[in-house]
Chains A and B, each alone.
Chain A
């Protein structure tokens, strides 16, 4: 048994499990991984990348809408939060999704201050997740390069 591969696989597994335990990811991420196979080895990385692009775009436009206190377009903000909540749900980005829930509540009562706080938080969370997943994908790459297979990780 190739010990380098085994060590990397162990590292990968532990890291992934920790992401679930710390609440960064939920069950939906597991579902996403199941959709990936030999024919589509980049699927998860691709959709995750699309998700982060969405985050960046939506956060920018919502920020613009919230900019002037006397003229906040809450409809636009609501639409942005809705989209963000939807895609974070589909990806399994648990923390991001949870912020979106609070964000929506602030939006519903037209609380600009609350919205700004949530906006900041969602920005923080998605960037944090992006870094974590980048580390995860790097580990995956190392495993593959060392000739190993990505472990199937079961989260309970």
Chain B
């Protein structure tokens, strides 16, 4: 089994249409992501461990639903806007209200181009708003967003378990770097010229980073390959 040089992202895709789920799943896989698909906002919240009042033996509960918050690492949530019951917007709000999950980037998809809807979602904290049909090129814009949470989680893990690392380098990463996550995120961005100003609302500050960044990035990559307490999704696509 080859360990990929590039970190693997785990995306939670939410859509009530089976067709759309199949489509977005393939798209995400093609963009080298691990994918979990669910058919409603409720199931999404369950998966994220956010749904209160759900009993462990609830037959409707997602079988892979974690008991502890953040046991499952999700680097991005991509959701349809128009869904019965809980809309994508409702889901977005719930995620942003949760202290455990508010840092997970959320992307909304819709087949309708309604400017008021788009701005409402972006104001509520959605990273992007994609018009359907979503293209591979759209997904590639998401890598920087996913990278942010990935690195942040990695750092938090290293802070929590400092004695674990075999290589001395991982621990060294911890200190002042924590505040400079955004700078690391920038370094891994694709060409800025490809980004369309209209559709992108990057919350990352654009700063020029010189000497420090390369070393930081190197240690991060080394850190990524150490043992992790979190479950990994090795090439598994789960559908609930």
Contact = CB atoms under 8 A, between A and B. Distances in A.
Interface of A: 28, 31, 34-35, 37, 40, 43, 46-47, 50-51, 54, 82-83, 85-87, 89-90
Given A31-B135, A35-B30, A82-B111, A46 B20 contact: no
B27 A89 contact: no
A57 B98 CA distance: 38
Nearest to B16: A83
Interface string B149-182: 0000000000000000000000000000000000
Contact of A85 (B18, B23, B26, B111): B111
Nearest to A46: B22
Given A35-B136, A54-B19, A87-B17, 16 more contacts: A28-B133, A35-B26, A35-B30, A40-B26, A47-B26, A50-B22, A54-B18, A82-B111, A83-B17, A85-B111, A86-B17, A86-B20, A86-B111, A87-B20, A89-B111, A89-B132
A90 B133 contact: yes
B220 interface: no
Interface string B1-39: 000000000000000011110110011011000000000
B82 A82 contact: yes
Contacts of B23: 47, 90
Contacts of B17: 54, 83, 86-87
Interface in B197-238: none
B130 to A, nearest CB: 12
Given A82-B111, A90-B132, A43 B26 contact: yes
23 contacts: A31-B135, A31-B136, A34-B136, A35-B27, A35-B30, A35-B136, A37-B30, A46-B22, A47-B23, A54-B17, A54-B19, A82-B82, A82-B111, A83-B17, A85-B111, A86-B17, A86-B20, A86-B132, A87-B20, A89-B111, A89-B132, A90-B23, A90-B133
A87 B19 contact: yes
Contacts of A35: 26-27, 30, 136
A50 B19 contact: yes
Contacts of A37: 30
Contacts of A54: 17-19
